[in-house]
């Protein structure tokens, strides 16, 4: 597809999406075309035909279920955007194709990145400057200790660690007594309540104690909801001028590097709306960009629907140029707090300034949003993170960087190996169905105790079960982490979610190739296919490796990739079908 022919004012991705869909542009010539919507050329009602859907699913290697799920989510985000003068089927479907074919593949953007960063207007080079969901996941894996990160999600526990910066009373309904609650409400009859483990302002509210109110009933309700009750912050009068009904906060992102230096990377101002008690961007609030060095707002306001505001929509106070009060205290506070939690190297701090001029911690977030750091002024800030992440990856993941794999600390190796929830009969049966017809013998590496693969093998195939432990007389016991391997040969080998538990991975792959005459089937989840920290914490692996490393190592051992099959439920869990190159 020749981008030089794009004279229609569309971005590279949108133009190529139109070509992929087979849309024919009308004749047009212009040297400096203004930006247009696809619907300006093709009308409002272009639908994805069944043939186009099949073409997309084939290109993306997606199942019907995954296609429907992604399309539904993208549609919801598209319809929520108020920046478009109209919402047409044509624009929806062209942008969807641009998103899944280019933005998601090239820079790891999810739907909200696509719209918040207006990627439909940007060239591929401009898109690559944004910190997207892909980088967000990579940042969490590289930077943050999972257990300490979970502690930050419990607001009551985090308050105890960071108590010096709270500057207000609070009551933890999960641990406090009724007597303590009575004492708290006597002092603070109007207080702020939020779930100890909630986020994005969900279920946060102001509670006013009424005369003759049943305190026991309210206490029981807070306990049942696992709530944290806090003294209402009286914010600085300059912040209250924007919106007095909410506590208007800052989201400040810090990075604690390998030299124990804290970097203040970005700062975003957040302002609520009249009649609400939260300022969250995802719940109707406005966000602005703040210069982290000076504390001056440098952009207009923006909301989650991609509407822009020169001034606060309720009070009319101008955003750009506003100087946050006591900025030196804010910077000192976040640097001190970041040093108290070195295990969580990247944190988004929600800060406000109270009427005493103190920098007050509202809460700390180990999974800070990437959108409000870039969208309000339409500026990608990947450049701020890239050198720090690269240095951290170099420092903490040396094996992954140099060799393509790394060995993790995994305390309960046997439990993780034996109970991996992805090693289900359905994927094992799927793999055995891919055996070549001429296969007469099969090695099942990592067969586990139940030897499920055996029941799916054709009767004529000789089955060799191999595992770390000798669970019964049939199983050949080999400790792959000691370099052991069975002295057998077979036409084919199946290795299903086993390589992830082998420390000496290059040697293991080499031994597997030497023992196999024709075909190797590997179910695995390469580190770089989907950076999903939640999955890796729930399914701990002793070893992580990249797809590039796997394919290259197999090629070095004379096995070429024939085909790969993603799993419908977990698309980044791949069945790799390698065939021996008999010419070498």
What is the DSSP track for 138-162?
A: HHHHHHB-HHHHHHHHSHHHHHHHT
Q: Which residue has the higher pLDDT, 307 or 6?
A: 307
Give the tens place of pLDDT for each residue, 482-524.
Answer: 889 999 999 999 999 999 888 888 899 999 999 999 999 999 8
CATH fold for domain 129-168+236-394: D-amino Acid Aminotransferase; Chain A, domain 1 (3.30.470)
pTM, entire model = 0.73
CB 39 within 8 Å of CB 90: yes
In the predicted structure, residue 266 carries a pLDDT above the cut 50: yes
The answer to whether 389 and 142 have CB atoms below 8 angstroms apart is: yes
- pLDDT at position 202 is 67
CA distances from 485 to 417, 446, 463, 488, 509 (A): 18, 11, 16, 9, 10
CATH architecture of 405-580: 3-Layer(aba) Sandwich (3.40)
Q: How far apart are CA 137 and CA 385, in angstroms?
A: 13
Task: Dump pLDDT digits (tens) for 13-69.
Answer: 999 999 999 998 877 655 555 667 898 888 899 999 999 999 999 998 888 999 999
User: In whole angstroms, what is the distance from residue 299 CA to residue 290 CA?
Assistant: 8
Chain centroid, CA 76 distance in Å: 19
Q: How confident is the model at residue 526 (pLDDT cuts 50, 70, 90)?
A: confident
Chain centroid to Cα 560, Å, comes to 32
- What CATH topology corresponds to 169-232? Dna Ligase; domain 1 (3.30.1490)
Quick one: average pLDDT of 164-177? 90
Place of tokens 């055995």: 432
Residue extents of the structural domains in the chain: 3-126, 129-168+236-394, 169-232, 405-580
CA triplet 353, 265, 124: central angle to 5 degrees?
130
Question: Does the structure show a pLDDT above 80 at 215?
Answer: yes
Q: Place 175 in a pLDDT band, splitting at 50, 70 and 90.
A: confident
Which residues does 248 contact at the CB level (< 8 Å), separation at least 6? 235, 239, 240, 242, 269, 270, 271, 272, 279, 352
3 state SS of 264: strand
**Average pLDDT of 129-135?**
92
The C-alpha angle 246, 247, 248, rounded to 5 degrees, equals 100
């Amino acid at each position: 597809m020749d981008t030089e022919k794009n004279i229609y004012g569309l971005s590279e991705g949108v133009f190529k999406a139109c070509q992929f869909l087979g849309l024919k542009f009308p004749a047009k010539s212009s040297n400096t075309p203004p930006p247009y919507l696809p619907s300006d050329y093709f009308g409002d009602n272009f639908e994805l035909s069944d043939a186009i859907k099949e073409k997309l699913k084939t290109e993306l290697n997606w199942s019907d279920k995954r296609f429907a799920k992604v399309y539904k989510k993208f549609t919801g985000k598209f319809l929520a955007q108020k920046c478009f003068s109209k919402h047409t089927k044509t624009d929806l479907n062209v942008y969807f194709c641009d998103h899944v074919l280019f933005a998601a593949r090239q820079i790891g953007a999810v739907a909200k990145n696509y719209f918040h960063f207006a990627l439909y207007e940007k060239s591929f080079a401009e898109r690559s400057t944004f910190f997207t969901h892909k980088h967000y996941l990579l940042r969490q894996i590289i930077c943050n200790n999972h257990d300490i990160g979970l502690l930050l999600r419990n607001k009551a526990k985090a308050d105890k660690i960071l108590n010096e910066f709270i500057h207000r009373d609070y009551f933890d309904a999960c641990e406090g007594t009724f007597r303590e609650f009575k004492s708290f409400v006597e002092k603070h009859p109007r207080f702020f309540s939020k779930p100890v483990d909630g986020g994005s302002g969900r279920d946060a509210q102001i509670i006013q104690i009424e005369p003759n109110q049943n305190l026991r009933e309210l206490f029981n309700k807070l306990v049942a909801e696992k709530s944290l009750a806090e003294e209402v912050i009286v914010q600085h009068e300059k912040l209250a001028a924007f919106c007095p009904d909410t506590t208007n906060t800052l989201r400040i992102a810090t990075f604690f590097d390998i030299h124990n230096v804290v970097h203040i990377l970005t700062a975003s101002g957040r302002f609520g709306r009249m009649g609400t008690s939260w300022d969250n961007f995802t719940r109707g609030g406005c966000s602005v960009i703040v210069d982290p060095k000076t504390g001056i707002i440098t952009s207009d306001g923006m909301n989650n629907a991609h509407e822009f505001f020169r001034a606060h929509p309720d009070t009319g106070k101008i955003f750009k140029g506003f100087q946050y009060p006591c900025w030196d205290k804010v910077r000192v506070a976040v640097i001190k707090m970041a040093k108290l939690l070195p295990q969580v190297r990247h944190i988004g701090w929600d800060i406000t300034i109270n009427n005493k001029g103190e920098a007050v911690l509202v809460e700390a977030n180990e999974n800070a949003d990437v959108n409000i750091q870039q969208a309000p002024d339409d500026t990608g800030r990947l450049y701020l993170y890239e050198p720090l992440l690269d240095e951290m990856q170099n420092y903490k993941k040396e094996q992954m960087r140099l060799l393509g794999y790394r060995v993790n600390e995994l305390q309960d190796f046997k439990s993780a190996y034996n109970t991996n929830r992805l090693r289900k009969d359905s994927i094992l049966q799927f793999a055995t169905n891919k055996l070549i017809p001429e296969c007469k013998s099969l090695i099942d590496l990592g067969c586990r105790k139940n030897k499920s693969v055996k029941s799916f093998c054709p009767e004529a195939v000789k089955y060799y079960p191999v595992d770390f432990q000798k669970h019964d007389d049939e199983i050949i016991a080999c400790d792959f982490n000691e370099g052991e391997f069975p002295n057998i040969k077979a036409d084919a080998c199946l290795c299903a979610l086993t390589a992830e538990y082998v420390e000496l991975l290059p040697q293991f792959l080499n031994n597997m190739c030497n023992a196999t005459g024709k075909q190797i089937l590997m179910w695995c989840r390469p580190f770089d296919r989907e950076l999903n920290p939640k999955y890796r914490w729930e399914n701990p692996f002793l070893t992580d490796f990249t797809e590039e490393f796997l394919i290259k190592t197999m090629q070095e051992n004379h096995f070429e990739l024939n085909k790969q099959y993603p799993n419908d439920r977990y698309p980044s869990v791949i069945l790799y079908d390698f065939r021996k190159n008999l010419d070498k």
